[in-house]
Structure 1
Amino acid sequence: MSQPPDDEEAERRLGRPHVPRHPRPEEVRLVNAALLLRRPLLVTGRPGVGKSGLAYRIARELRLGRVLHWAVTSRSTLSSGLFEYDAIGRAQALQNPAESADARAGTGDFVQLGPLGTALLPYRLPRVLLIDEIDKCDIDLPNDLLTLFEDGYYEVPPLVRVKPQEPTTTVHTADPGATAEITAGVVRCHAFPVIVMTSNGEREFPEAFMRRCLRLDIPDPDAAALGELVAAHFGNALGSRQEVLIRDFLRRSDRVGGLAADQLLNAAHLVTSGQYALAAEGTDDRDEWAELLEAIWHPLGGEGAGPA
């Protein structure tokens, strides 16, 4: 199978592709190790430090196409990540063939692969799968994922049941408008996907699960990393104001116990829009600008703090 192209989500998260970024050496080593060992990366760190962005950086750097994003909740199960089957729609199509537009559709037309299921399709190159906020998952999901990661394949029971009549079926995938062919109801990966799982450290995982993962902790970005981020999104539009804005952001972040990097981008957008001026120290407009920043740079925990 051919790789799908990149999408707008990567540029929204990372900014322009030609702006150089300098990842930490530890990050490079662990990503390379995960690729060689075919092990998932468990990325931890404070909310807003850019954990999920790592998946998009890997996909862009290695030209692996669109990132498959699975946002995990307490209701997420292994099956929901693999596929969904519209059994009711299929039954209605079979019972009312004269009235249904789907009467001639095969079973595969009622199967929708999820991000996890799509990642395991036999692509020539590995797909990048982002399993976001896995610490919100049901207690059984980590162990269920272990078995899947070890095997590298799964079955789609509705397609297995009809394989004598439909040996090869076409199903919908998690890529917009894309389809894939499945033979005998079995999906087996060709290149093991690059799996990035993010966690805010809200729970502990089973020991067997932790042994299978490589853990990478993302620290708060420093001034240099924030400068690269702003430049990737806004180029040189801020000019000398960029250093002042980043300084104020870091000062505010220290004061309130941490801010998210996209909160800095929001402020940068206001400045580059031309609607707001980055006021200088000692001017009357400085207080108004500080009040605006306090509203934009609100603490992630929801509690108030002093002015920026």
Structure 2
Amino acid sequence: RLRLGKLKIVRRRLLQHYEHQPFISLLAGLYSCRWKRYQRQKTEPGDYDGVPFLMHDTTLKRTTNVNEIFPQFSNMNAALLPWDMLENLNAGKWFIQKPPFSNMGSLSSTDQQTATNQSIYKLVDFLRLADRANKTVIFDLYRPPPDHPHQYTWINQTLDAINEAAIDPKLVLWLSNDLRDEVYSLYPGFQQTQGYKDSIQHLVHNHIVKLNLPYSAMNQQDIRTYAAANITTNLYVVSEPWLFSLAWCSGAHSVTTNSVHSLKRMKEPMFLMTPAEYNLMWILTDGASAFLILLIFVLHWWRERGFSCCPESNEVSDSGLYNTFKT
């Protein structure tokens, strides 16, 4: 019987029901752990004090109440604000007041109250949560703007947060290409991950063990070629069951999705077919084709034999036909 290992699911946006984009709350992380999947975040390398935090937008105006508390900083880059200011912002009320998705499930009154009281999430707290739950994490790092005091030390600030969290290194999928060699020398336990395709030789030389790519950039042969070199593949964004099934059958190791609550229920690909079922399908198809061909030959033979047994009727018919159209 065909054996397929189930794809792991990366939480691109945690839960659709608890869609705290920009992923800045503890509640989103807790629900991600409850669903037993990877966590994926977008991480600002640090505020003005050098504290890395989770944020999707460049500014704070969409996903916090900065307009109410510090309206003069609404359009400022979030990385330029100190942490004592950021930690006082509400990062969950917007989610209840202006749901970002039309197909979201409803929240219980308890969850609504909890969501309303969420604050911006520090990277170190996120990593501690992942370590306690033994969940692998992958995050995008953004370099601070030119006038930021940590513009040239942002990788170090991130590594300091990882050290402070004391997370198991093997749980970290390191995606950033900046200073990759230096990061590998300091933390060889990180799973070095790359966001674009490359030759096997180059990937092995750079200690890459995973590729993080859009599903449209990969095909079955590429996935299997990389897998033969012990390089696994994560595809994004895969949210439809049929696309999840296609990635599964192609040999992808994991996918990034917005629909973990629905994909997690799939125990096998939608169009999974075992070798025995495949052989049976072709045997039945070949048998049906052979029967149709034989039937056509029999009908043709019967037709020819019927005409040859009654030549007089043919002549009468032909004579009648010619008499009808004779001029």
TM-score by length of 2: 0.28
- Bigger Rg, structure 1 or 2: 2
Determine which structure has greater relative contact order: mean sequence separation of CA pairs < 8 Å that are 6+ residues apart, divided by chain length: 1
> Which TM-score applies when normalising by structure 1?
0.29
